Structure 1
Amino acid sequence: MDIADADWVEEQGEAVCRVDVRDGWEYDGIGHLPDAVNVPFDTYRAESHASDGGEGEVGMLPGAEQFADVMGAAGVSREDDVVAYDDTHGVFAARLLVTCELYGHPPERLHLLNGDYSSWARDHPVSQEAVEPDPTTYEATFDPDGPLVEADVVAEALDDPDSVVVDTREQWEFDEAHLPGAVRLDWQELVDTDSRGLRHEDDVLDLLVERGIDTDRRVVLYCNTARRISHTYIVLRHLGYDDLAFYEGSLTEWEEQGRPLEKSEAG
């Protein structure tokens, strides 16, 4: 799983399956990458959290059967190299790719476009031609041994000096309530507002080290409903962080279980 520059994606042509996760009206009305298929965000996101009666295995996952239907209808198979994009710096596209991994798609075949549709459109061709995918069979099986961790594991990590629990939300959210001892790293701090893609890698690494998010520590990620941590997860994977844990339940589940929270003075 990595972050792919636009030039590389264009060079690959049909060798990679381009997936646009914006709403249909954006895909149809504004344009899209040539040959890209449309898999809107709400089609691979559960309507409610699993802890609140949702049908997915955990958190906001849609369930293996639903995800297989969505991807198969878009003509995507697990053998495909997939590059996903949105028009919001990649945060929604990252969620698709993480969902793919959690349902068994080989991570080395998953790529996040560096930037988004707006940045692509500056220098590369776009299209408004309808793409009619050939439906295929997408094999989706939830992997319980993947990067997902449960709340008890997160609680242990909070007391483990060899681990760092990272909150990827905005400052005001963190101030109002966060896991005790968590380090804040707003996912947007990793994004360059001009290029709309990842900041220079040296700058990102400096920021991570400054926050104590080192490659020799286990990194446990959370936000509210696990959307924003998807982007941070892919960035860290791209930068060579190997020991990553993904708390799918995130703050929503943590609060519902009545686990401790703390506020910043500002909150």
Structure 2
Amino acid sequence: MLTTLVDTQTLASHLQDPTWVIFDCSFVLTDPSAGARAYLEGHIPGAHYAHLDQDLSSPITPTSGRHPLPDPTMLAHKFGQWGVDASKQVVAYDDSHGAVAGRLWWLLRWLGHDGVALLDGGLSKWRREGRPLTAYTSTVSPRTFEFSTDDGRWVTTKDVEELLARGGHKFLDNRTHERFVGDVEPFDKVAGHIPGAINRPLEDNLDENGCFLADDVLYGQFADLLAATSPESTVSMCGSGITACHTLLALERAGFFGAKLYPGSWSEWITDNSRPVAKGT
């Protein structure tokens, strides 16, 4: 099975394959219903719509970030209702080069389903190539999705505090440079970053066409960035644990396995005013 990326030609050749399940994860933070509206107007044939807030996250609490991890039992039930079981190859895409679809990729891996891949280039590349779209919503026969969570894939805020105190870890912050240094903050009440974090914007994983860079290029970049730090001692974060998944996938493409997700990320870190905040580079 494909476990990281799938190209548009391969997906096109499997649109009628009953062992493949496709998800549209398009989402706009400033307009949470925009992705669902766009899906109804036109999506890759056979795709289901997975809503970031309603399907791929749990409700926000006073101490959580903006997109807490969903309850695994409820999520597994949803995947089963969407027709996913252990035999299925899952493909996720969005209209933002995988920025949101990477969350679904990571969640399935967390649940123990390795057969999930991101559509390289996403919906934008699919459209540029003139491939089919439909407004028809497919029906599906529910399946039983059996799962076993791998909680070694992520860290809590308490873990992050302990790792920072211990040293020897690297924290890759996938937000834009402007947000990282604290010049702007369009989504969260405090600007800046966790002291010691390194800025690695999501866009650095992509080429000019919105596809992932070649594996050897990614390897060179991450080898320089991590230096002597092992992947297992690397944590990927962002604003709310969404785009951080994109870099975890890029790390795997580069051959670096075992990096962790910080789901709470910046939006959870700042819920406690006593936690330190850094600005600038």
TM-score range, shorter chain: 0.7 to 0.9
Q: Which amino acid aligns with 2:80?
A: G
1:180–1:43 CA distance, 2 compared to 1 (3 A):
same
Q: In 1, Cα distance between the equivalents of 2:13 and 2:128?
A: 17
Counterpart in the other structure of 2:109: 101
Q: In 2, Cα distance between the equivalents of 1:264 and 1:24?
A: 37
Counterpart in the other structure of 1:260: 276
Alignment partner of 2:47 out of 11, 29, 36: 36
Q: In 1, Cα distance between the equivalents of 2:224 and 2:254?
A: 16
1:66–1:216 CA distance, 2 compared to 1 (3 A):
closer
The 5 Å alignment of 1:112-261 reads: 112-123=118-129, 125-139=131-145, 143=149, 145-158=151-164, 162-176=168-182, 177-193=192-208, 195-212=209-226, 216-217=230-231, 218-257=233-272, 258-261=274-277
Structure 1 position 32, deviation (Å)? 2.0
Structure 1 position 141, deviation (Å)? 5.1
1:80–1:51 CA distance, 2 compared to 1 (3 A):
farther
Structure 1 position 74, deviation (Å)? 2.5
User: Between Structure 1 and Structure 2, which shows a larger proportion of helix residues?
Assistant: 1
Give the gaps of 5 or more residues in structure 1: none
Give the gaps of 5 or more residues in structure 2: 27-34, 183-191
SS in 1 for 2:100: helix
How many residues are matched? Answer: 258
Counterpart in the other structure of 2:187: none
Counterpart in the other structure of 2:98: 90
SS in 2 for 1:241: coil
Structure 1 position 119, deviation (Å)? 0.2
Q: Which amino acid aligns with 2:210?
A: R
Q: In 2, Cα distance between the equivalents of 1:52 and 1:160?
A: 24
Q: Which amino acid aligns with 1:83?
A: V
Structure 1 position 219, deviation (Å)? 1.2
Counterpart in the other structure of 2:24: 20
Q: Which amino acid aligns with 1:10?
A: A
SS in 1 for 2:270: helix
Q: In 2, Cα distance between the equivalents of 1:234 and 1:203?
A: 14
Q: Which amino acid aligns with 1:204?
A: L
Q: In 2, Cα distance between the equivalents of 1:252 and 1:225?
A: 6
Counterpart in the other structure of 1:70: 78
1:38–1:221 CA distance, 2 compared to 1 (3 A):
same
SS in 2 for 1:136: coil
Structure 1 position 129, deviation (Å)? 4.9
User: Does the CA contact (< 8 Å) of 1:94 and 1:231 recur in 2?
Assistant: yes
Counterpart in the other structure of 1:45: 56
Q: CA RMSD in A?
A: 2.7
1:74–1:105 CA distance, 2 compared to 1 (3 A):
same
Deviation per CA, 1:163-186: give whole Å up to 9, x if none.
311111111221122111111101
